[in-house]
Structure 1
Amino acid sequence: MDIAIVGCGDVAGQYAPAIAAHNALRVSAVADLDADRTEALGRTHDVPSYTTLSDLLSNESVGLVLNLTSHAAHAEVTQTAIEAGVGVYSEKPLALDAAEAQALVEAADDRGVVLGCAPYPIEGDAQKLTWRLLADGRLGTVRWGYATTHIGRLTEWHDNPESILQVGALYDGAVYPLSVLTAYFGPVTHVEAAHDARLEADPGDDWAPDQTVAVLAFADGSRIQLSASTYVPHQTKQFNTLELHGDDGSLFLENTGETEAPADPAVEFARLGTGYTPVRQQADPSPVGRAAPVAALAAAARGERPVPDSLDPRRAAHVVAVLEAIEACADGAGPVSVDGPSFSSPATPPTVPAPADRLSSMPPIGFGCSRFRDGTYVDLTSSIETALDAGCRLLDMAELYGNEAEIGDLLDAPGRPDRDALYLVSKVWNTNHAPKHLRAAFDATLDRLGVDRLDCYMLHWPDAWAHRGPLGELKDRPTDEAEALTFPTDEEGDIIEADVPLSDSWAAMESLVEEGRTTHLGVSNVGRPELRELLSLADIPPAIVQIERHPYLPQSDLVAFCREHDIAVMAHSPLSAEGLLTEPVLHEIAENHEIAPAQVVLRWNVERGVVPIPSSTTPSHVIENLDVFRFALSEADLQRIDELADPECEPR
């Protein structure tokens, strides 16, 4: 689509190259009151240049106007384009007057043209991650928060600060947190209190207040203290931050406006009584550049899609009404109601964005809950808490691990994700393969976890052993008693097998799916022969196969076989092979990416389409293991790791 840029200042230098590089957009003409600026930008992109929008629209065929003029000119330029029957994407704010902003929305509707307004922050990775955490119920009811937009002393760093200083940080900066907050919590109903001041010793005569503080009440009952400043220095710790506090915990978003290169950590979470834990993104980054909202609005103008809710001009008009109410309240009007049109809230992003080649609801990495470490048992309570705080959504459990009741208590505690945000896997032990024992074991697992369904229930091994009674919560039993229950042996110490056909066990598993008590079935520690047998007899085939997998033991043939049969592969023990994490190749790759060798191994699994489920008793390692989506391995890296395969390495 042909895009006409109106306003050829600094920000046009950011938009124009992005539009020119987009495969569905083209800079077709430019306009600016400053003839030198418009001619310079026109020459750069080899397009006609004009000094008025009216002349441009009279002489050019335009699909969309990109309004990059000064704040005070936004409304007039947008109105001119709408009257000419051309849609507009405007830089923020939509207008400096609430009635004028509403009139623009109505005019666009009357003319049947699209209208959208910056900013577009709700599409950023960090903003969506924060939103998912809120939707998952991590904070409980949010009652208070702090939003800052401290854009700094512009005369010290901005080449042309006058237009911003005239409108102040409210109209230039506060639109970022307000765009995010109205997506999270709905419209602002009223401004409860506000104060503004001029703190600079010698402000300009027509400069807006350089510090404003307001308390905003939102439709859902939450209240946010907003601070907007052109006095607080640029890029302080409180630049564009958002901190939210609920009954069950707190969230911190480092920058409400950043959509291309968020800080690390960009989002942090704290349960009540604990410090902040970095929350790790569970998908590769999706930077949102300058061209993205223009392209989305252009697609709407072509009739290919509706105007995205995140670009709804009614939200932009509401934001202007909020800013106007803050000014009125600060001028002494007392609490001020915010009126205006209703707007659509964007749909909450999915908990875990999933590629087409993975089960749609399964996260790309998880946490293994086995307590067994180097011949002894460890307490994983703190590690599982840390994993959940850091964004882990997949827990791999088993009745053999003996800690399902403990995990159930963790999941039921305040500040935990809602059940629907989690992917819960458990496994039936070998001694419970007989159908009645298998169903009893499944019931006991649900009871211990305090849930009414699993996402995947697995056979821990395909082998059936003699039943010695219900396992219960094994961690509460003496070790000798637990091992006698789980590893039945004869007088010579050999395992006593049970005469339970795999077909009978699997039929019992299938009945759990048919009853809606588990979504998927799986099998662990299986080879190709056993998997072929299972596929031949199953009415409901396994959705997941869990195997030991790491660079020494990639099991590539089995992984390929699973992929041929649309079976997802989960890698247990991805880091535990002796000597793996001291491997020179892994250290070299890790050093090149400024990460840890463990992250290299986990990312290798992810890039090979396998879901790793690492475990650790060290909190910093738990967080580090989840942080494998801010970098990518090259094909050369992957090949070097593949070459570590050891033909003599056997599954344990």
Structure 2
Amino acid sequence: MISNLKSTTTLHNGVEMPWLGLGVFLVKDGEEVVNSVKAALEVGYRSIDTAAYKNEEGVGKAIAESNVPREELFITTKVWNADQGYEATLAAFDVSMKKLGLDYLDLYLIHWPLPSQGKFVDTWKALEQLYKDGRVRAIGVSNFKVHHLEEIIANSEIVPMVNQVEYHPRFNQRELHDFCKKHGIQLEAWSPLMQGGLLEEPILVELAKKYNKSPAQIIIRWDIQTGVVTIPKSVKPHRIAENKDVFDFELSEEDMDKISALNQDQRMFANPDTFSKV
């Protein structure tokens, strides 16, 4: 039952992952990210998602200064494009762990498939090794399309546990979601609010009034009810608190369909087939 902020989904290896977390993409390192993470932890968040955003140190500082036991936290980070390849990934993991100040990680992801380099299978083998060594509880990918996942599955021992992708009502990635369900891969949404671009969408505004919630809360609830883990980003404590208040109501099937019908296959960010930034 998805009934509160501590509710979790069970990954295919048995690890429990919270349905809702805080994303810190482009949050400035130092005071801004420390305060954001602390604000989230104080109101009950237990999942924090970072990467090579240059703010892993701040995330680690906030965790260290919080009173939350490590075993209650679910911390995710990612290997960046410049560090793909077997040995480079292992080294990058060590750097991230030092910055975070952690002994183990809950989830480690390949940030982008970067097909132009052709390294993501070797990178995945490094993640498999880290998982076998017990240094990370779960491994997965980010921004992988179906054909990228098929290549991973065909050339490795472990099926990814998570695929974190751009996902919102205008881009609901139905084919990818169906593939992930079939293979036991948990889909996770980044940019679920389309960087605020959906907050004035008439249907969402109408539903917000109906349920006495904000448009952002309607979207986050839609994510969760579609079986998608979500990590909205905010640096404002009142927004961080607001985003978590999505467990005291449920969208009707009719209203879920209204939101799903907003899909336009509208990708806001880079196409994983062509993105090559290192």
- Specify if TM > 0.5: yes
In the alignment, which residue of structure 1 is the partner of 2:32?
379
- Find out whether 1:392 has 2:45 as its counterpart: yes
SS at match of 1:580: coil
Q: Moved runs in structure 1, 4+ residues, more than 6 A?
A: none
- Find out whether 1:440 has 2:95 as its counterpart: no
In the alignment, which residue of structure 1 is the partner of 2:104?
453
- Find out whether 1:403 has 2:52 as its counterpart: no
Q: Which amino acid aligns with 1:451?
A: L
In the alignment, which residue of structure 1 is the partner of 2:250?
632
TM-superposed CA distance for 1:436, in Å, is 1.7
Q: Deviation per CA, 1:560-612, whole angstroms, max 9, x where unpaired?
A: 11011001011000013563110010011010111100000000000000001
Q: 1:539 to 1:525 in 2, by over 3 A?
A: same
SS at match of 2:8: coil
In the alignment, which residue of structure 2 is the partner of 1:548?
166
Q: Which has the higher contact order (CA 8 A, sep 6+)?
A: 2
TM-superposed CA distance for 1:514, in Å, is 0.9
Q: 1:420 to 1:581 in 2, by over 3 A?
A: same
- Find out whether 1:619 has 2:273 as its counterpart: no
Q: 1:617 to 1:356 in 2, by over 3 A?
A: closer
Contact persistence 2:144–2:165 (CA under 8 A): yes
Q: Which amino acid aligns with 1:434?
A: G
Q: Which amino acid aligns with 1:447?
A: K
- Find out whether 1:557 has 2:175 as its counterpart: yes
Q: Deviation per CA, 1:465-500, whole angstroms, max 9, x where unpaired?
A: xxxxxxxxxxxxxxxxxxxxxxxxxxxxxxxx64x5
Q: Deviation per CA, 1:541-569, whole angstroms, max 9, x where unpaired?
A: 11000000000001011111101100101
In the alignment, which residue of structure 2 is the partner of 1:157?
none
SS at match of 1:595: coil
Return 551-560 or 378-387, whichever deviates more: 378-387
Contact persistence 1:571–1:610 (CA under 8 A): yes
Q: 1:388 to 1:557 in 2, by over 3 A?
A: same
| Inter-partner Cα distance in structure 2 for 1:641 and 1:449 | 37
Alignment of 1:76-87 (within 5 A): none
Gaps of 5+ in 1: 1-281, 286-350, 465-496
| Inter-partner Cα distance in structure 1 for 2:195 and 2:98 | 34
- Find out whether 1:531 has 2:165 as its counterpart: no
TM-superposed CA distance for 1:354, in Å, is 3.3
Q: 1:356 to 1:453 in 2, by over 3 A?
A: closer
Q: Which amino acid aligns with 1:562?
A: C
SS at match of 2:76: strand
Contact persistence 1:550–1:577 (CA under 8 A): no
Q: Which amino acid aligns with 2:246?
A: V
SS at match of 2:18: coil
SS at match of 2:113: coil
TM-superposed CA distance for 1:540, in Å, is 1.2
Determine what percentage of the aligned residue pairs are the same residue.
35
In the alignment, which residue of structure 1 is the partner of 2:126?
508
Taking structure 1 as the reference length, what is the TM-score of the superposition?
A: 0.39
| Inter-partner Cα distance in structure 1 for 2:59 and 2:195 | 26
Q: CA RMSD in A?
A: 2.3
- Find out whether 1:361 has 2:45 as its counterpart: no
| Inter-partner Cα distance in structure 2 for 1:649 and 1:435 | 30
TM-superposed CA distance for 1:356, in Å, is 5.7
Contact persistence 2:34–2:58 (CA under 8 A): yes
| Inter-partner Cα distance in structure 2 for 1:357 and 1:538 | 18
Contact persistence 1:387–1:622 (CA under 8 A): yes
Alignment of 1:164-243 (within 5 A): none
| Inter-partner Cα distance in structure 2 for 1:378 and 1:429 | 23
Contact persistence 2:78–2:109 (CA under 8 A): yes
Alignment of 1:87-236 (within 5 A): none
Contact persistence 2:9–2:19 (CA under 8 A): no
TM-superposed CA distance for 1:651, in Å, is 4.5
| Inter-partner Cα distance in structure 1 for 2:144 and 2:237 | 31
In the alignment, which residue of structure 2 is the partner of 1:316?
none
Q: 1:501 to 1:371 in 2, by over 3 A?
A: closer
Q: 1:425 to 1:357 in 2, by over 3 A?
A: closer
| Inter-partner Cα distance in structure 1 for 2:241 and 2:97 | 28
Greater gyration radius: 1
Q: Deviation per CA, 1:499-524, whole angstroms, max 9, x where unpaired?
A: x5332211111110111001111110
